[in-house]
Structure 1
Amino acid sequence: MTFTDLQLNDSLLKAINDQGYTTPTPVQAQAIPFILEGRDMLAGAQTGTGKTAGFTLPLLQILSDRKQPKTHRKIRALILTPTRELAAQVGESVKLYGKYLPLKSAVIFGGVGINPQITMLRNGVDILIATPGRLLDHVGQGTVDLSGVEIFVLDEADRMLDMGFIRDIRRVITILPKVRQNLLFSATYSDDIKTLANTLLRNPAEVEVARRNTSSELVKQSVILVDCKRKSSLLGELIGKHKWEQVLVFTRTKHGANKLTEYLQKIGITAAAIHGNKSQSARTKALDDFKRSSVRVLVATDIAARGIDIDALPHVVNFELPNIAEDYVHRIGRTGRAGCEGEALSLVCVDEADYLRGIEKLINKKLDARIIEGYEPDPSIKAEPIQRGRGGSGGGGGGNRGGNSGGGAKPAQKRDGGRHEPKHRTNERRR
């Protein structure tokens, strides 16, 4: 199958050809026809499968085929994403494929001034890409009009739920016109996602190009057993010895990301951290430097890493295993993209044994584990009790001894009108 077979118009085919693409990915081949038919859709696909183009291409075609209102230009398509980085990535895709069409798009998210966004919205926008917090800020100020939305896209819905956005999503849905096309994309199909789909979608087409909660076949996965206090020095040695030039490293906490970045810089490895406490300009610069290879190592928390889209990223390292097994699948999905092979390496200490077992159960695969000479685990160290939780920033228990990540569960913090939420959601939530 080629893109021509999907009945896309000449303007879109020209933009696709400019990028050198001729053959759609499986998710594109399955999703585009359903969307062009005007059907609601529930799509499950791992990262790196081309899902963004899978909804931007038919969305652009539908809007260009329909006549625009003669009155003031209204928002006709709303794409909701969990993070700033992903919003920016989707915005780039819309501009890339829509460059030969008379459609205007805009991206809005928190962490930057709201006034330029207000001006942009007043000038008229066809397609709006937004994060939930900033979108509702505009709704509250009366600076955005969603009454003309014809297509609503909820991207990375599983991450939306993990980040505590379900109330915001429901509020947005109540504001939208009742008659519209709904598209829900998710990397995994949890029971919560299916519940959300049942309330949002009407007789949806279902597309799934990967088995539930599976890891990419193109990613070589392995484990190195090591004491948590020696993870930093081991990582530095691996990067230097193997001459890795582009490595995405995951920590569970923001403090851990900062501390590891400082260590790598101290031993002469260029590194930058990206997490929710960083300003938007700092996050953008760190990501750009990483993409240009002027920074060798990007150290990230789970939430901040959503939206990092690098086709040929060769190495992902789990400096600390996630305490939610599904997050492991999201992490290693940053490599092995677009048909390229990748390597996912996890540094696992005794405290993280339960996390490792949970991950292996989820992916239905026993990961190869080895020990590096000179970094043998101390058999006298016993595992500490693990504090269970759903946070990527609050940490919790496993592998945090020795101060590598400043972990430990955080108490609930009071915010906005007396509502209680975990601290990591307070810091990361308004995006």
Structure 2
Amino acid sequence: MPFSKLGLSKNLLLSIKKSGFTDPTPIQEKVIPLVLNRDDVIAKAQTGSGKSASFVLPILELLSREEYEGKAKIKVLVLTPTRELTLQIVEAFNTFGADLPKKPKVVGVIGGESIGDQLFAIQKGCDVLVATSGRFVDILSKKQMNLSYVEFFVLDEADKMLDLGFAEELDQILVELPQKRHNLLFSATYPPKMQEIASRITQNPTMVSIEHEEPTVQNITQRVIEVNPENRAPLLRHLLSTENWESVLVFMSGKRAADNIAAKFRKHGFKAESFHGDLHQEDRNYTLDSFKKKEFNILFATDLVARGLDINDITCVINFDLPRSPADYIHRIGRTARAGKKGIAISFIGHEDAQHFRLIEKRSGIKLQREQIEGFELTGEPIKKEKGPAPVKGKGKSKKDKAREKALKEQK
């Protein structure tokens, strides 16, 4: 079904055509008519499926039909887990709304920038507010923002927001929103806690799921290479020198590791940069923009870019370090094979990673053959771990608390 059959105006269809889109993705085809009908929607779809446009387009259509005078009031609130996804949704509203007779005023709110300037931008007049959940709660606490006119409440990548303590913040957000509103919740996974959050937001939603499609994963050639930790960097240099990969995204376990290895690869003559939450927002924007423009072709990054990175030409994703959460494996490899293209995803594992990768395979519903590269073969034997004393309950922070604190710091 083409976009012209989905009930969108000629002005929006013109913007869609200018943006290079021809036919809607499965989630867009299902969700756009529901939003135009003002139904509440809970949609489950993998990353790279076109979720953002599925709500941006119909919301713009409905806003364009409304007539109002005076200063713009917040009618759309979109919350996301990361700065990059926030900025991309802002760009989507501006791009698709460019040909509307009355362009909506869109404000993006993220950490790393002046909260005073952001409040001023909102108070000058704002139709659409897109924000990271953490910064939005900070602004909400100032009690200087009127949310009583909100018609659409959107949560994008809602499952990722759960990792950032969003469940605890939700009540203070909902109390500021009008009870009569339209709710749209998008998530790549739907754990039990997500069901509880969904029930607090909406009582009678239309459920949409396209997980059986999974076009991005089907277009990805997944490989597992066994290698000792000290040989991962030499192996990666070997692969980069022998394979014809135009654009490579390499996932690292931490910020310092990403910086260090990017610097080492530059010394070896590779065009490489690092990306993580400690970079200033201006540097984050510049790095991603340069990567998109192919000014360099290797990006070493943390899981900050596992979701919400809108780059269609990543040839290969490398799991230099495995993700902590098995669920993040699919999000990582979903950075390649976008927009109908094919891609490659390679994971490096050693003896110490073998059990964890088996868990990733089980949770992801895959079984991959191990391989070794001549000159970089895995050596040695697995180290048998001895059980230590049982942890004392109540002593120190849990792994979940530490992970949440780390995620919050990267988001802000």
Residues 351 and 383 in structure 1, CA contact (< 8 A), matched pair in contact too: no
> 1:238-257 counterparts in 2 under 5 A?
238-257=239-258
Asked whether the 8 Å contact 1:252–1:322 carries over to 2, the reply is yes
Bigger Cα displacement from structure 2, 214-223 vs 186-195: 214-223
User: Does 2:85 match 1:100?
Assistant: no
In 2, the alpha carbon distance for the partners of 1:385 and 1:253 equals: 26
1:273 Cα deviation (Å)? 1.3
- CA separation of 1:214 and 1:243: change in aligned 2, threshold 3 A: closer
Shift of 1:73: 1.9
How far did 1:330 drift?
0.6
The aligned amino acid for 1:290 is F
Looking at structure 2, the residues matched to 63 and 422 of structure 1 have their Cα atoms a distance apart, in angstroms, of: 36
CA 1:234 to 1:109, structure 2 compared with 1: closer, same or farther past 3 Å?
A: same
* Residues paired across the two proteins, number: 401
SS in 2 for 1:78: strand
Are 1:213 and 1:363, in contact at CA under 8 Å, matched by a contact in 2? no
Report the residue type matching 1:9 in the other structure: S
Please name the residue that 1:424 is paired with.
406
Corresponding residue of 2:165: 164
Name the residue aligned to 1:60.
Answer: 60
Offset, 1:171: 2.3
What CA deviation, in whole Å up to 9, does each residue of 1:309-365 have, x standing for no partner? 112211111001112100001101111111111111111111111221111111211
Identity %: 39
Q: Give the structure 2 partner of residue 86 of structure 1.
A: 85
Sort the Cα spacing of 1:143 and 1:269 in 2 relative to 1 into closer, same or farther, 3 A: farther
Moved more, 231-240 or 205-214: 205-214
Tell me the secondary structure at the aligned position of residue 49 of structure 1: coil
State how far apart, in whole Å, the 2-side matches of 1:181 and 1:84 are: 24
Aligned-pair CA distance for 1:215: 6.8
Q: Is structure 2 residue 269 aligned with structure 1 residue 268?
A: yes
CA contact (8 A) 1:213 1:362 kept: no
Shift of 1:159: 0.8
* CA distance in 2: counterparts of 1:383 and 1:270, whole angstroms: 39
Give distance in 2, aligned partners of 1:265 and 1:111. 28
Partner of 1:15: 15
Residue 72 of structure 1 pairs with residue 71 of structure 2: yes
Counterpart residue number, 2:332: 331
Q: 1:266 to 1:273 in 2, by over 3 A?
A: same
CA distance in 1, matches of 2:117, 2:406: 28
Q: Is contact 2:80–2:86 with CA below 8 Å preserved after alignment?
A: yes
Following superposition, the deviation at residue 143 of structure 1 comes to 3.5
The separation in 2 between residues aligned to 1:385 and 1:377, in whole angstroms, is 23
The alpha-carbon distance between structure 1 residues 426 and 210, as it changes in their structure 2 partners (threshold 3 A), is closer
Deviation at residue 95 of structure 1 after TM alignment: 0.6
Q: Distance in 2 between matches of 1:320 and 1:383?
A: 21
Q: Secondary structure at the match of 2:203?
A: coil
CA contact under 8 A between 1:247 and 1:298: conserved in structure 2?
yes
Report SS of the residue matched to 1:141: coil
Distance 1:37 1:278, change over 3 A: same
The one-letter code matched in structure 2 to 1:65 is R
Q: How does 1:127-206 map to 2 (within 5 A)?
A: 127-206=128-207
- TM-score, length-scaled by structure 1: 0.88
User: Structure 2: how far apart are the matches of 1:76 and 1:314?
Assistant: 39
2: CA distance between counterparts of 1:135 and 1:27?
Answer: 27
* Range with greater deviation from structure 2 (12-21 or 224-233): 12-21
C-alpha separation in 2, matches of 1:296 and 1:332:
17
Counterpart-to-counterpart distance in 2, 1:255 and 1:122: 39
Q: Structure 1 residues 362, 422: closer, same or farther in 2, change over 3 A?
A: closer
Shift of residue 212 of structure 1?
10
Separation (CA, whole Å) in 2 of partners of 1:50 and 1:160 = 19
- Answer with 2-11 or 167-176: which moved more: 167-176
Deviation of residue 36 (structure 1)?
0.8
1:299 aligns with 300
> Contact 2:163–2:407 (CA<8 Å) still a contact in 1?
no
Separation in structure 2 between the aligned mates of residue 295 and residue 174 of structure 1, nearest angstrom? 46
3-state SS of paired residue (2:32): helix
Q: Distance in 2 between matches of 1:347 and 1:161?
A: 28
8 Å CA contact 1:318, 1:346 repeated in 2: yes
| Contact 2:48-2:216 within 8 A present in 1 as well | no
CA contact (8 A) 1:4 1:13 kept: yes
C-alpha separation between the residues in 1 aligned to 2:384 and 2:260? 23
- The secondary structure found in structure 1 opposite 2:218 is coil
236-245 or 82-91: which moved more? 236-245
Q: In structure 1, what is the Cα distance between the partners aligned to 2:125 and 2:365?
A: 49
d(CA) in 2 for partners of 1:139, 1:288: 31
Equivalent residue number for residue 2 of structure 1: 2
Shift of residue 306 of structure 1?
2.6
CA contact (8 A) 1:80 1:131 kept: yes
**Kept after mapping to 2: 8 A contact 1:276/1:304:** no
Structure 1 Cα separation of the partners of residues 402 and 343 of structure 2: 40
Partner SS state of residue 343, structure 1: strand
CA distance in structure 1 between the partners assigned to 2:200 and 2:214 by the alignment: 22
With 203-212 and 23-32 compared, the bigger mean Cα shift is at 203-212
CA contact (8 A) 1:232 1:263 kept: no
Deviating more after overlay: 378-387 vs 320-329: 378-387
Q: Measure, in 1, the Cα distance between the counterparts of 2:5 and 2:384.
A: 57
Alpha carbons 1:104, 1:127 under 8 Å: kept = yes
Q: Distance in 2 between matches of 1:33 and 1:369?
A: 45
Q: Residue 277 and residue 96 in structure 1: after superposition, are their counterparts in 2 closer, same or farther (change >3 A)?
A: same
Amino acid of the structure 2 residue aligned with 1:96: T
TM-score (norm 2): 0.92
How much has 1:232 moved relative to structure 2?
A: 1.1
Give distance in 2, aligned partners of 1:318 and 1:421. Answer: 19
Please provide the CA RMSD for this pair: 2.2
